[in-house]
């Protein structure tokens, strides 16, 4: 299996500039591509309940498989710069947001610094990550747990509502 770089996309607030969460995610992906990142594959769009459960709007999510000359730290910096440019405000954890970009896996690297933890430390607990990930990269295996996204989904708590959008 070739090394994979996977990014999770999410949003649940409209952007005054870009529009709906899905329009914002599409624009953010284009902005990353304009900076030299290539999207090799993108999952379908998913609508998912907030995790942990709350009264905030449901999210639109996807996972992309990408190629980039950037290393993991520089890619994360580009993603965070893009979030800021799109109006992301980091006021409190798990708050509603106009854009959320998560570096899920970078070629199986294991990194643990205050700025970056790879693989993403909670990805194996989130249906909104695992379902689109299984779609875009079925051969992927969790770098620590050794399980595929489908295997991780099979043992995941069913309490995370998600639906694949038709278009």
Catalytic residues: 88, 97, 100, 102
Q: Is 62 helix (H, G, I), strand (E, B) or coil?
A: strand
Handedness of CA 16, 18, 24, 29 (dihedral sign): negative
d(CA 8, CA 102): 5
Evaluated on CA atoms 10, 93, 18, 40, the torsion sign reads negative
Helices (H), 86-159: 127-136, 149-155
In 3D space, the residue among 102, 108, 126, 107 whose CA is nearest the CA of residue 49 turns out to be 126
């Amino acid at each position: 299996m070739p090394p994979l770089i996977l990014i999770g996309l999410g949003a649940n607030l409209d952007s005054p500039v870009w529009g709906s969460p899905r329009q914002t995610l599409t624009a953010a992906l284009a902005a990353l591509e304009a900076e030299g990142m290539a999207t090799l594959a993108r999952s379908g769009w998913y609508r998912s309940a907030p995790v942990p459960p709350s009264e905030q709007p449901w999210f639109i999510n996807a996972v992309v498989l990408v190629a980039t000359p950037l290393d993991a730290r520089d890619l994360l910096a580009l993603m965070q710069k893009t979030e800021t440019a799109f109006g992301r405000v980091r006021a409190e954890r798990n708050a509603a947001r106009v854009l959320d970009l998560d570096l899920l896996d970078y070629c199986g690297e294991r990194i643990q610094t205050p700025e970056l933890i790879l693989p993403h430390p909670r990805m194996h607990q989130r249906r909104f990550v695992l379902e689109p990930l299984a779609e875009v990269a079925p051969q992927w295996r969790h770098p620590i747990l050794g399980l595929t996204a489908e295997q991780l989904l099979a043992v995941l708590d069913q309490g995370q509502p998600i639906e694949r959008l038709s278009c």
